[in-house]
Amino acid sequence: MVNARNSSIHGHVSKGFEAVREAFVENFSSRRELGAACCVYRNGEKVVDLWGGIRNKATGEQWQEDTMTIVHSATKGLAAMTLALAHSRGWLDYEERVCTYWPEFAQRGKETITIRQLLAHQAGLFAFDEPVSRELVADLDRLALVLARQAPAWRPGTRQAYHAISLGFYEGELLRRIDPLHRSLGQFFQDEIASPLGLDTYIRVPEEIPNSRFAILDSPSVLARVLGFPIRLTFATLYPRSNIYRALITNPSAAICNDPQRVYSRNLEVASGGGVGTARAIARAYSVFAAGGKELQLRPETLRLLMAPAIPAEHGFYDECMKAEMQFSLGFCKPGPIALFGHPGSFGHPGAGGSFAFADPLAGIGYAYVTNRMGTKLPFDPRDAALRAAIPAIEI
């Protein structure tokens, strides 16, 4: 146990991974960490398992071994895992049109959108014209009607724009259509991934989990956001008609995942940003994919597709929401010029505030970092970057 700014650091690292522990401690002493956890698996073995700091800033309660926190858009990687399993079971073809599985989707210019385009944020469906309330999100049948009626912002496949919240809703309805049991995405994740692997990770948080299990977020000030975000993105987030404002800040906003009384929303599926879990559980899920996914019956063909390079839209990888070049494929974020993680075949997803998780099949690595102090650096937080840089055999 090491003390850093009156915060206790717990856990263990295997021989050769001591630098990761040093970086974790430095996050508290030099990078203003509040509470966090980091876990790394290599070739199926847990080699880093660290946690520490403060779970609740207001009360001073410590981060415990089983503390869970929301991981925001890192949830997208968990959602993408469900569709990867559906592909392995022969339920969908990534190159097929969405409307092949969901006929009502084929309206208002969406007839030719492929699953690959949708999962790469190339469908132009990053915002909603109709109101999307918490009540609507909780009613999957009504939500599906709104999704089907939405028109793309431009011709699908021509441009990329980050579907910050909307993507998970489209993924969820698609999975309901192809699953023989017609389960929601959150239920499918629980039944087919989380429960078989024994993971403390949820896309739909159940009622019975006590508030004491959850980390309380410490959000950055407006000034910190202005100083931390890239300048073009900062201006865009202040303009109500901008793409990113419509995609992330309104109708519904990312705040739909929070509940003042219960910390995080319960029994509500926001598969693009509402996932809650431990770093240990998320790293374990990615480690299974990194090792070939035998426990989940993932086919080698599916893993090869996940590892393959991203395919750009007609106008390239420049993202009309994020105001920068980002590469996405099959629901995951891929390594690129500003997304420096793992080997080229890696796949994962960052989350707003600093969380990040990924699989590196070439290195046999499954990694996850979670935090409750929301950072402002995009797309990857310096705390996460320091941890990854300390992992042997990962090129950054």
β-strands 258-259, 332-333 pairing: unpaired
β-strands 328-329, 332-333 pairing: antiparallel
Query: What is the per-residue pLDDT for 226?
Result: 66
Averaged over successive runs of 10 residues, the pLDDT of the chain (396 residues) comes to: 60 97 98 97 97 97 98 98 98 98 98 98 98 97 98 98 98 98 98 98 97 95 72 84 94 94 96 98 98 97 98 98 96 94 96 97 97 90 96 68
Instruction: Please give the Cα distance from 259 to 205 (Å, whole number).
Output: 12
Q: At what angle do helices 382-389 and 18-30 cross, to 10 degrees?
A: 160
Query: What is the per-residue pLDDT for 229?
Result: 75
Query: What is the per-residue pLDDT for 254?
Result: 92
Query: What is the per-residue pLDDT for 323?
Result: 92
User: What is the per-residue pLDDT across 377-393, written as a single tens digit (0 to 9) for each?
Assistant: 888 899 999 999 999 97
Answer yes or no: pTM beyond 0.85: yes
Handedness of CA 63, 68, 72, 74 (dihedral sign): positive
Query: What is the per-residue pLDDT for 379?
Result: 80
Instruction: Please give the Cα distance from 22 to 381 (Å, whole number).
Output: 17
Strand partners, 38: 50, 369
Q: How far is CA 90 from CA 13, 68, 120, 297, 299, in A?
A: 39, 33, 20, 12, 10
CB 285 within 8 A of CB 278: no
User: What is the per-residue pLDDT across 337-369, written as a single tens digit (0 to 9) for each?
Assistant: 889 999 999 999 999 999 999 999 999 999 999
